[in-house]
């Protein structure tokens, strides 16, 4: 006599093992094992508003990277602006320092700078926001992305818009840019695997 219960259990358990194996394939494990360090880059004229905007940008970027399966770490150490910042020599020094301090625990680094400014005009206040930076592979120094995003120059707050209103416009527009940037950077990370 055939033990149908035993056969069904074996088939079900094999199906579960196959399903778990496909879920835990090297491709899905690779992203989960990878860590992205997000570093603040700022110039000497740092403001409280820029810090607030930076936190919002990093949160948005992190959300997209984490949704793509990457772990993110935020580092508030500041890379102060200098003429050599864009050179690969400076990148190699930065990457060497990251490797020295973290071993092989950091796979990618995103260097992010927020520039925010308002210009008073007769017809209101022009709002200027830029998100600049790049993302590097820590192990080999490859540049995965360079970014220089800005709010369109046509963003003007009406004359009746007070400081609180202007800050809200800055935050909203920065969040929109950061959301788009986060999507692109997460996709680049996935494609680099």
pLDDT value of residue 170: 87
Lowest mean pLDDT among 126-130, 142-146, 180-184: 126-130
Q: How far apart are CA 53 and CA 47, in angstroms?
A: 10
Residue among 43, 73, 95, 61 nearest 178 (CA):
61
- Collect all residues with Cβ–Cβ distance below 8 Å to 88 and sequence separation of at least 6: 141
Residue 188, pLDDT score = 93
Q: Tell me the two tokens of residue 158.
A: 């009406």
> Which residues lie closer than 8 Å to 54 by C-beta, 6 or more apart?
40, 42, 112, 114
Neighbour-count burial of 9, counting CB atoms closer than 10 A to its CB (0-12 exposed, 13-18 middle, 19+ buried): exposed
- Average pLDDT in the 33-44 region? 79
pLDDT at 163: 87
In whole angstroms, what is the distance from residue 191 CA to residue 110 CA?
A: 16
Which pTM value belongs to this model? 0.72
Q: Does domain 34-191 have CATH number 3.40.640.10?
A: no
**Bigger pLDDT: 16 vs 171:** 171
**pLDDT score for 46:** 60
117 vs 61, residue with greater confidence: 61
- Per-residue model confidence (pLDDT) at position 91: 85
What percent of the chain shows pLDDT beyond 70? 73
Q: List the chain domain ranges.
A: 1-31, 34-191
Name the pLDDT band for 84 (thresholds 50, 70, 90).
Answer: very low
Asked if residues 52 and 126 have their Cβ atoms less than 8 Å apart, the reply is no
């Amino acid at each position: 006599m055939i033990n149908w219960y035993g056969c069904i259990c074996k088939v079900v358990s094999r199906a579960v093992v196959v399903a778990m194996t496909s879920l835990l394939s090297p491709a899905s494990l690779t992203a989960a094992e990878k860590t992205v360090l997000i570093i603040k880059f700022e110039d000497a004229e740092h403001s409280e508003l820029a810090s607030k905007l930076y936190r919002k940008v990093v949160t948005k970027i992190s959300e997209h990277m984490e949704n793509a399966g990457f772990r993110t770490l935020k580092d508030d150490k500041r890379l102060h602006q200098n003429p050599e910042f864009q050179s690969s020599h400076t990148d190699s020094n930065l990457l060497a320092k990251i490797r020295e301090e973290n071993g092989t625990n950091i796979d990618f680094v995103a260097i992010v700078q927020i520039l925010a400014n308002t210009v008073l005009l007769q017809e209101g206040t022009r709002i200027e926001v830029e998100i600049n930076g790049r993302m590097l592979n820590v192990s080999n120094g490859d540049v995965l992305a360079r970014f220089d995003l800005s709010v369109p120059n046509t963003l003007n707050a009406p004359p009746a818009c007070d400081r609180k209103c202007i800050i809200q416009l800055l935050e909203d527009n920065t969040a929109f840019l950061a959301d788009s940037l986060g999507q692109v950077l997460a996709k680049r990370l996935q494609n680099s695997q």
